[in-house]
């Protein structure tokens, strides 16, 4: 018969092993329950047009944007100073071909983008990102960003509105294209364009998409040469149309806060302003800026329309009658005199939240990588992490080097705390005797304890510093791992194939829990007996919590624990030698 102590240890080991196997089985069931991700061959297009609105009748009235049934923004959003006093008769465009849903799509392929353009309106109705697989086990399936089907609406629209605009009365122009598929590779200059053409009042209008094989940014321009006898007046609108449904292939981990899903703009007063669905349900948005952008954000990715730097724009955002939302802006109206040429343009970005690239595209666009209230810590952390990654070429090793750098930077704070803990550990036997002697007199015990602390130079609160100092950095790194697309599906080594996801076998959390227990065993066991027992449960609680954290974050905390144990042991020995 085994001694009771041995039996207890065997039972604890058996319970731990059983719990571990149950968690593994639960995780496998959760993975198996996920719906398989599949895409149709092409986005959904329909022959339906939006409802007709007499824009000339409501131009001077206050427009209730929240009740408008048309996707096309009202011309009152154009700057009134740029419009002529008299609108005159509204011109029309000729239907140069009869489009069917099957013939309306043009596919453009670049190394970084695959997108579908609808010839009705020239809208971008689907965008795939070949460089970003939808999942680690689906490397051949690119991430789907923009899409239009029966279950989802997320498209990028643009057009010309105004007295002679092509998009009006709820109707979109019908374009022709010389090709149905265009491939732009990185050979040569890597540049290419797609030209769509329509005819309005005998004037040929070109909608041109300019592509760069190495970029997620493309340019959309309207080119018009006025061959008529009357002035042509119009302004460009750009907008993102999106429902509020969650992202199908969201790979955020379960215990994380939901990444922001919604719109954003930049203004002179607020460089980064969120435009949330719930706010638009209460009141439509209108704002102004010079240059700027409007974007729609989701986990790791975004789409954005970017205005020319010196152009005065008007933002708008509103819900539509079909349960979708519009986030866009209009540029100033331009008047093209007979014989002159007019050009309207804007840039469109669809891709990852790459901070460096976004900062180059437009001012403040990099702020769409939202690190929360600790951004002032997270931004330097990300730059340091990127620096280390450039040195070693592995994000896991970069996290280890970052942890070491943070530990060195905060070493003086930790050293003070560990010295205080060493003194507390030294007086622990005397503390225990005082607790036994004055167990029935709490007031006397408190006075004797304070006298002992003063005599021995111990500070019971000093030991909190090593635990509290890294917490802001830990929280900031949490947001860096959650938001930075660079760490999405980034491998470390061995079984860790994605540092932004939880450890599939929970090995790192278990090692972290063991290191936490070892750290706790080095600390002085003083205080109320019930408090001591509660502290012994902390490693278990931390382990359970960290089971579902990103592997990169657990790696940071594990390495931080190991470095803390080494520093703590060294200082303890140093204090003991100094006292000797």
pLDDT per position as a tens digit, 379-410: 999 999 999 999 999 999 999 999 999 888 88
Distances in whole angstroms, Cα of residue 225 to Cα of each of 202, 205, 220, 345: 11, 8, 17, 15
Q: What's the residue count for the chain?
A: 580
Helices 395-409 and 411-437: angle between axes, nearest 10 degrees: 70
User: 466 in a domain, yes or no?
Assistant: yes
The residue-averaged pLDDT of 214-230 equals 94
pLDDT at residue 568 greater than cutoff 60: yes
Domain that holds residue 521: 378-579
Provide the pLDDT confidence category of residue 532 given band limits of 50, 70 and 90. Answer: low
User: 362 in a domain, yes or no?
Assistant: yes
- Residue 452 and residue 516 share a domain: yes
- Residue 165 and residue 78 share a domain: yes
- Residue 385 and residue 362 share a domain: no
User: 175 in a domain, yes or no?
Assistant: yes
The answer to whether the beta carbons of residues 354 and 222 sit under 8 Å apart is no
User: 515 in a domain, yes or no?
Assistant: yes
- Residue 313 and residue 426 share a domain: no
Domain count, the chain: 2
- Residue 403 and residue 348 share a domain: no
- Residue 238 and residue 198 share a domain: yes
Tell me how far apart the alpha carbons of residues 13 and 19 are, in angstroms, rounded to a whole number. 10
Last residue of a domain, one of 344, 370, 396: 370
- What's the predicted TM-score (pTM) here? 0.81
- Residue 497 and residue 353 share a domain: no
- Domain with residue 237: its CATH number is 2.70.98.90
- The share of the chain scoring above pLDDT 70, in percent, equals 78
User: 19 in a domain, yes or no?
Assistant: no
Q: What's the pLDDT score for residue 533?
A: 67
Last residue of a domain, one of 370, 395, 410: 370
- Residue 431 and residue 398 share a domain: yes
The residue-averaged pLDDT of 291-303 equals 95
Tell me how far apart the alpha carbons of residues 161 and 331 are, in angstroms, rounded to a whole number. 10
Residue with tokens 């093209």: 336
User: 75 in a domain, yes or no?
Assistant: yes
- Residue 236 and residue 341 share a domain: yes
Helices 538-546 and 529-536: angle between axes, nearest 10 degrees: 30
- Residue 385 and residue 275 share a domain: no
pLDDT at residue 37 greater than cutoff 70: no
pLDDT at residue 473 greater than cutoff 50: yes
What is the average pLDDT score of the chain? 81
Q: Phi and psi for 372 in degrees, rounded to 5?
A: 75, -160
User: 10 in a domain, yes or no?
Assistant: no
- Residue 418 and residue 560 share a domain: yes
- Residue 477 and residue 360 share a domain: no
Q: What's the pLDDT score for residue 188?
A: 76
User: 5 in a domain, yes or no?
Assistant: no
Last residue of a domain, one of 370, 393, 416: 370
Better-scored residue on pLDDT, 424 or 136: 136
């Amino acid at each position: 018969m085994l001694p009771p102590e041995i039996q207890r240890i065997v039972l604890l080991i058996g319970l731990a092993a059983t719990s571990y196997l149950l968690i593994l089985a639960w995780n496998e069931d959760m993975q198996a329950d996920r719906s398989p991700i599949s895409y149709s061959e092409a986005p959904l297009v329909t022959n339906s047009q939006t409802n007709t609105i007499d824009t000339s009748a409501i131009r001077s009235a206050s427009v209730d944007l929240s009740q408008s049934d048309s996707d096309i923004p009202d011309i009152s959003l154009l700057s009134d100073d740029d419009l002529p006093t008299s609108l005159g008769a509204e011109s029309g465009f000729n239907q140069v071909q009869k489009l069917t849903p099957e013939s309306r799509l043009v596919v453009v392929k670049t190394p970084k983008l695959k997108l579908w353009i609808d010839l009705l309106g020239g809208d971008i109705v689907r965008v795939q990102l070949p460089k970003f697989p939808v999942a680690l086990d689906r490397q051949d399936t690119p991430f789907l960003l923009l899409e239009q089907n029966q279950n989802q609406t997320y498209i990028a629209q643009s057009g010309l509105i105004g007295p002679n605009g092509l998009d009006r009365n709820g109707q979109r122009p019908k374009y022709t294209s010389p090709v149905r598929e265009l491939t732009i590779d990185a050979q040569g200059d890597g540049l290419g364009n797609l030209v769509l053409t329509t005819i309005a009042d005998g004037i040929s209008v070109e909608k041109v998409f300019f592509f760069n094989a190495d970029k997620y940014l493309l340019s959309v321009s309207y080119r018009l040469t006025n061959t008529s006898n009357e002035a042509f007046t119009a302004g460009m609108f750009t907008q993102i149309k999106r429902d509020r449904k969650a992202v199908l292939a969201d790979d955020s981990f379960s215990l994380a806060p939901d990444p922001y899903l919604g719109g954003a703009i930049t203004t002179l007063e607020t460089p980064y302003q969120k435009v949330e669905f719930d706010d638009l349900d209460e009141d439509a948005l209108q704002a102004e800026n010079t240059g700027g952008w409007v974007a729609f954000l989701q986990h790791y990715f975004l789409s954005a329309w970017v205005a020319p730097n010196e152009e005065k724009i008007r933002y708008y955002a509103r819900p539509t009658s079909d349960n979708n939302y519009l986030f866009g802006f209009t540029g100033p109206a331009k008047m093209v005199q007979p014989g002159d040429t007019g050009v309207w343009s804007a840039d469109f970005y669809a891709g990852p939240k790459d901070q460096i690239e976004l900062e180059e595209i437009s001012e403040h666009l990099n702020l769409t990588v939202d690190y929360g209230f600790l951004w002032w810590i997270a931004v330097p952390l990300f730059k340091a992490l990127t620096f280390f990654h450039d040195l070693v070429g592995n994000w896991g090793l970069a996290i280890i080097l970052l942890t070491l750098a943070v530990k060195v930077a905060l070493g003086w704070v930790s050293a003070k705390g560990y010295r205080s803990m060493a003194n507390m550990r030294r007086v622990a036997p005397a503390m225990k005797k005082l607790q036994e002697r004055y167990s029935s007199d709490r007031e006397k015990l408190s006075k004797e304890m304070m006298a002992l602390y003063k005599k021995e130079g111990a500070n019971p609160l000093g030991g909190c510093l090593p635990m509290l100092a890294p917490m802001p950095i830990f929280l900031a790194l949490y947001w860096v791992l959650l938001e930075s697309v660079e760490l999405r599906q980034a491998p470390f080594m061995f079984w860790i194939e994605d540092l932004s996801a939880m450890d599939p076998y929970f090995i790192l959390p278990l090692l972290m829990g063991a290191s936490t227990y070892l750290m706790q065993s080095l600390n002085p066991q003083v205080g109320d007996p019930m408090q001591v027992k509660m502290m012994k449960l902390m490693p278990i609680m931390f382990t359970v919590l960290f089971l579902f954290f990103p592997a990169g974050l657990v790696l940071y905390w594990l390495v931080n624990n190991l470095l803390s144990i080494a520093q703590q042991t060294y200082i303890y020995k140093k204090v003991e030698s100094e006292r000797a």
